[in-house]
Amino acid sequence: MNHTGVRVTGSPRAARTRSESAAGPAAVPTAADPPRRRRGRPRTVGGTPLAGAGCGPAHRRRRVGCGPRWWATYPADVVQQRTDPVDGTAPPAPVPAEFRAALDALATVRPRPEVALEPIPAPKRLAPWSHAIGLSIADPSDDEEELASGRFIVLFDPAGHDAWEGTTRCVGYVSASTDSEMVDDSMFSEVAWSWLTEALVACGADHHAVGGTVTRTASTRFGSIAAPEHSVDVEIRASWTAEGTDLDRHLTAFLDVLANAAGLPPTGVHLLGASAQPVDSGA
């Protein structure tokens, strides 16, 4: 258990760039993920590379998310309140205005077309109030497969929490498959962690007390297990305390982490296919 009260589990994931990173303390929360079926995936679709710098996911995952128009089924009054451990009844306290404002901000997020979001059950005993969102990116060549998946959880305690140094704690988890050479890259973990720290700054998501882990796992399967013989995964687990109620900025930043793990190019950048003809410069 870490300071957020969420159990930490391990397994690694994909890197798309090789820059320096701002490392943080390793203490991140979330429950273990259910196993996902994986299959080998091509490095290109129709001759178009799926990821920049040769760092796209190496396998696909079965997609479980909903369509990108998630806000149409995400009313701001969808909240999760902790249940009483004795009789299982929810406390009658009204929804705090600060938590309501945070949920309203989340509902304004419009993800990029490749990303699917949906409300999922939130942990009920980690904080008086909580909410959770499932994240996924489908493979462009097969809508039933995922390149990356994860979740974004908001924990809220109006009385404040000493370990959080605040009232609102964001907890994020991302999982994706990557290329085998990434396991041996000494800078991989630093790069993956920098995706989060740089995205929070770029999105103007004011925060403090950030911590997390980047885990890389190489698996070799034997016998009758129906899965690729070799696979490499990366998992990014992080938590941080949000300052204010503009959680749309925090979710947007974490969606950037998800996109990086999936090997997607930055928003607005289109990769040229192998069959693309060079532009005549007139020289």
Model pLDDT for residues 33-83, shown as the tens digit of each residue: 444 434 344 333 333 333 333 344 444 454 444 443 444 444 444 455 555
Q: Where are the domains of the chain?
A: 53-262
Q: What is the mean pLDDT of residues 82-97?
A: 69
Helix orientation angle between 97-106 and 247-262, rounded to the nearest 10 degrees: 40
Greater pLDDT, 113 or 33: 113
Q: Measured between alpha carbons, how far is 251 from 258 in angstroms, rounded to an integer?
A: 10
DSSP per residue over 78-146, as a string?
--EEPPPTTT-PPP-PPPPHHHHHHHHHHTT----TTEEEEEEPPPSSSSSEEEEEEEEEEETTEEEEE
Question: Backbone phi, then psi, for 214, in 5-degree steps?
Answer: -120, 125
Q: Measured between alpha carbons, how far is 149 from 30 in angstroms, rounded to an integer?
A: 14
Q: What is the mean pLDDT of residues 248-253?
A: 98
- Segment 178-225, tens digit of pLDDT: 877 776 788 999 999 999 999 999 999 999 999 999 998 888 778 766
Q: Give this prediction's pTM.
A: 0.68
Please determine, for residue 227, whether its predicted confidence score (pLDDT) is greater than 80: no
